């Protein structure tokens, strides 16, 4: 209650009393405002918590894929590398990284085999050339055999030249095939 004396010409004639109901209405508005503020703060906290959980559900598998690519690059044993299986976009990304890794491993194996074959094919004529030059250098052979060795040297040089041309053509053709874009055709 709020009270105030009623005074006129210095005499008190009564007391004015203001009912509690007016102040009760303002405290009810205050209580509603407080409840709305608490709800808003709670809502913001819940949203922050949910966004942290959601971001972790995205970041954790991407970090795992990143670690797997590092293991692939370092050529760790395939038994230690297990890609995550999921039915969403991250699962699709995982499958594509795995396919890319297998394709690169296959390309590396083919390149290693190819370089071993090339070095073997080039060493044979080089060894033959070295032997022929050593024999000619000794001057202990007849002119007829010397001419035969010179013909062998010419043939080995032609063979090496043809091998180098074939290697060059093969690598150029393989690069063109690898870089060519595939075009999908609908057969309806």
- pLDDT, mean of residues 79-96: 80
What's the confidence (pLDDT) of residue 126? 84
What's the confidence (pLDDT) of residue 38? 94
- pLDDT, mean of residues 156-179: 81
Query: What percent of the chain clears pLDDT 70, i.e. is strictly above it?
Result: 86
- pTM of the predicted model as reported, rounded to 2 decimal places: 0.53
Question: Which of 51-55, 73-77, 142-146, 147-151 holds the top average pLDDT?
Answer: 51-55
- pLDDT, mean of residues 58-62: 85
What's the confidence (pLDDT) of residue 25? 56
Q: What values do phi and psi take at 156, rounded to 5?
A: -65, -40
Residue 20 binned pLDDT confidence (cut-offs 50, 70, 90) = low
- pLDDT, mean of residues 101-113: 83
């Amino acid at each position: 209650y709020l009270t105030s004396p009623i005074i006129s010409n210095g005499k008190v004639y009564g007391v004015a009393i203001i009912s509690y109901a007016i102040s009760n209405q303002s405290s009810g508005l205050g209580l509603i405002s407080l409840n709305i503020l608490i709800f808003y703060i709670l809502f913001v906290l819940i949203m922050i918590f949910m966004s942290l959980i959601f971001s972790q559900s995205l970041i954790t598998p991407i970090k795992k894929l990143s670690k797997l690519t590092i293991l692939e690059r370092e050529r760790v044993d395939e038994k230690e590398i297990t890609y995550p299986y999921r039915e969403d976009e991250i699962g699709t990304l995982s499958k594509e990284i795995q396919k890319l890794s297998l394709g690169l491993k296959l390309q590396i194996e083919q390149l290693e085999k190819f370089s071993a074959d090339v070095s073997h094919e080039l060493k044979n004529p080089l060894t033959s050339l070295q032997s022929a030059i050593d024999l000619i250098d000794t001057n202990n052979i007849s002119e007829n055999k010397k001419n035969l060795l010179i013909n062998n040297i010419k043939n080995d040089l032609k063979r090496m030249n043809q091998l180098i041309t074939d290697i060059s053509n093969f690598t150029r053709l393989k690069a063109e095939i690898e870089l060519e874009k595939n075009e999908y055709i609908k057969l309806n």
